[in-house]
């Protein structure tokens, strides 16, 4: 276990029962924490830091094989006027946690991610969901999301539907306005990414990469109820680069009939998306896009006047028809 004057701590290759009380007290004040290969650790906030990580800025947890939850909040009470748990956290990285099913357990109202800038989640095979609707509201600083090999992950931005099912109250006021980068790779059960309500918040998103997610059928999923009928267009105002690769079930970017605008899009790659019949079912506005880098065998530049025509021509080529029927 290493500490320093810069309030950093690396705890490695130990048993949770061997961490002494003085270490637990120190954990409450540190800014940088790296937990590596700690046995019998099932969650951290309830066992180690009952009073919360109020000064923690960087958290890296790697290869803790017993970890089921990261933050168990069920017994944490935040008094009125006190800072919420994790309110200073800027970077969160989770890697090689084979039993991790949820990052957050219990009442999320005790957590604020208002300073979180970067999230990286890698090789967490049992993780199901990332951000709940209540946590999304606090993500006012989030800039980057990287997710790789989370084979059971179903949702990143969790939807919460009204009990009366009249409207899809996905997030009342999601705060993703500083998000610039999303990279997702090898998440085979990922079903949902964005709704139009979430897209409205992605005003600074510049790069979106989606690779090897075998069950996803579309990128933007339709709203439900009254919201669906009221949407005429969705806009990605800052998106410059979009990569869609090895998506075996992808049929389109969105099945909605609304206009999709990409005013800044210049790089679009579509590779090994054999079921993608068309880009969308409404008009696409792409004033800066003059080619699509795509293919099933050889990657090449294509352009047939507009985005839909380009994707449709590729889908209907005999060599791709033969490959689908093989």
Lowest-confidence segment of 70-79, 116-125, 185-194, 213-222 by average pLDDT? 70-79
Task: Count how many Cα atoms sit within 13 Å of the Cα of residue 234 in the half-sphere of its side chain.
Answer: 29
Per residue in 10-28, pLDDT (tens digit) is 666 556 555 545 555 666 6
Domain range summary for the chain, segments of one domain joined by +:
1-116
| Strands of 63-180, DSSP E | 69-72, 91-95, 102-105, 118-122, 129-131, 144-148, 155-157
Q: What is the DSSP letter of 85?
A: B
Q: Are 86 and 52 in contact (CB under 8 A)?
A: yes
Q: What b/e string do you get for 186-208 counting C-beta neighbours within 10 Å, with b at 16 or more?
A: bbeebebbbbbbbbebbeebebb
Q: Are 81 and 114 in contact (CB under 8 A)?
A: no
How far is 298 from 33, CA to CA, in rounded Å? 45
Per residue in 26-58, pLDDT (tens digit) is 666 778 888 888 888 777 755 445 555 678 899
Following DSSP, what letter does each residue of 294-317 receive, concatenated?
A: EESSS-EEE-SSSHHHHHHHHHHS
pLDDT bracket for residue 3 (50, 70, 90): very low
The full length of the chain comes to 326
């Amino acid at each position: 276990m290493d500490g320093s004057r810069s309030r950093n701590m690396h705890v490695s290759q130990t048993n949770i029962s061997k961490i002494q009380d003085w270490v637990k007290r120190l954990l409450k004040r540190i800014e940088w924490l790296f937990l590596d290969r700690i046995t019998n650790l099932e969650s951290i906030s309830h066992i180690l830091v009952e009073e919360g990580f109020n000064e923690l800025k960087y958290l890296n947890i790697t290869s803790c094989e017993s970890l089921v939850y990261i933050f168990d909040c069920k017994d944490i009470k935040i008094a009125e006027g006190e800072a919420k748990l994790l309110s200073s956290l800027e970077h969160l990285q989770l890697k090689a946690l084979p039993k991790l099913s949820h990052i957050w357990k219990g009442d999320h109202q005790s957590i604020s991610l208002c300073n979180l800038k970067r999230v990286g989640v890698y090789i967490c095979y049992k993780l199901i969901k990332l951000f709940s609707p209540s946590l999304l509201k606090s993500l006012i600083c989030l800039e980057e999301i990287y997710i790789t090999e989370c084979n059971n992950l179903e949702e990143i931005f969790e939807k919460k539907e009204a009990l009366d099912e009249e409207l899809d109250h996905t997030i009342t006021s999601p705060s993703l306005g500083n998000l610039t980068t999303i990279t997702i790779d090898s998440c085979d059960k990922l079903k949902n990414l964005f709704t139009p309500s979430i897209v409205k918040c992605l005003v600074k998103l510049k790069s979106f990469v989606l690779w090897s997610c075998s069950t996803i059928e579309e990128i933007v999923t339709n709203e439900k109820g009254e919201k669906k009928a009221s949407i005429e267009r969705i806009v990605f105002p800052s998106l410059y680069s979009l990569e869609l690769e090895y998506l075996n079930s992808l049929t389109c970017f969105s099945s909605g009939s609304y206009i999709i605008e990409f005013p800044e899009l210049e790089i679009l790659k579509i590779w090994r998306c054999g079921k993608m019949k068309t880009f969308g079912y409404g008009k696409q506005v792409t004033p800066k896009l003059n080619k699509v880098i795509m293919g099933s065998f050889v990657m090449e530049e294509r352009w047939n006047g507009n985005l839909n025509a380009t994707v449709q021509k590729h889908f209907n080529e005999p060599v791709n028809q033969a490959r689908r029927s093989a």
